[in-house]
Amino acid sequence: MKRTRFSTLVMTGLAALALAGCGSIVPSSSDRGSPSAGASRAPYSTPGTYIQRPPRGLSSAQQNVVTRPQDAACLNALGAAGADFNPLPDTYAAPGCHTLGSVQLSSIAGDASSFGISNIGPVRCEVATAFGQWTRFGVDRAARQILGSPLARIETMGSYACRNVAGSNRRSAHARAEAIDVSAFILEDGRRISLIDDWNGGSRAEREFLRTVHRSACKRFGTVLGPEYNRAHADHFHLESAGEGPGTGFCR
């Protein structure tokens, strides 16, 4: 569904952010983002920013959001992949807490249908792209092959939250909108496969499914933490930052 609130966001420069996250111990990671070589510029709006001409896949309303030039290629790829999302303006909440180049995801396109996402807040575009690829190629296909039913929805415990890593003075990746916590998967046949109930307590097929999607996440994210990492992650997968290639991430 296209949203008309983006013109308001351009005039006010404010966004309503949903603060959510986990209380886990998360290894630190650096802010990542690469400039788009072919970005085409429109007239400057405010110092240091300009209104980007709309990448393919964005609605006429979405083009009105003030975006950084280096985010154009990512928005283009996310839109071309069929995701339903709203790009958000950059915001700064506190030292180390910001949403830069972030989007609000509503649904992700799959091979034959779209998948809903519950309880997710702002998330950096690169992370949203990796999340979409994982959902389509890792989760849905595993659900059909192992459990015999397509995916319908992913339940999350949130994304952006201005907070530190538990027990430290370091900002969590959640404080940069670079992490998503996934707690359960809803299938089209009505089954709910959750980390807390089914990682160890589910059927053989459900346990295999959860471990398969965990391995798949490790190929697409820089940091993946789950029930094998510590008790704090017994009920969710922590998916953080887009991966930079095989062997470069932290997967537990």
> Using one digit for the tens of pLDDT, what is the confidence trace for 53-81?
334 444 544 444 556 677 888 999 999 99
Name the β-bridge partners of 118: 155
Crossing angle of helices 72-80 and 125-133, rounded to 10°: 30
**3-state secondary structure at position 216:** helix
At 140 the pLDDT is 97
At 245 the pLDDT is 52
- The whole-angstrom separation of Cα 102 and Cα 64 is 15
Token pair for residue 244?
């930079």
If one compares 241 and 121, the residue with the highest pLDDT of the two is 121
- Among 65-74, 95-104, 115-124, where is mean pLDDT lowest? 65-74
Q: Are 99 and 86 in contact (CB under 8 A)?
A: no
Residue 48 has pLDDT above 60, yes or no: no
Give backbone dihedrals phi and psi of 199, rounded to 5 degrees, phi first.
-60, -45
- The whole-angstrom separation of Cα 229 and Cα 21 is 17
Name the β-bridge partners of 44: 50
At 166 the pLDDT is 84
* pLDDT tens profile 200-250: 999 999 999 999 999 999 999 999 999 999 999 999 999 998 766 544 578
At 248 the pLDDT is 54
In this prediction the pTM is: 0.74
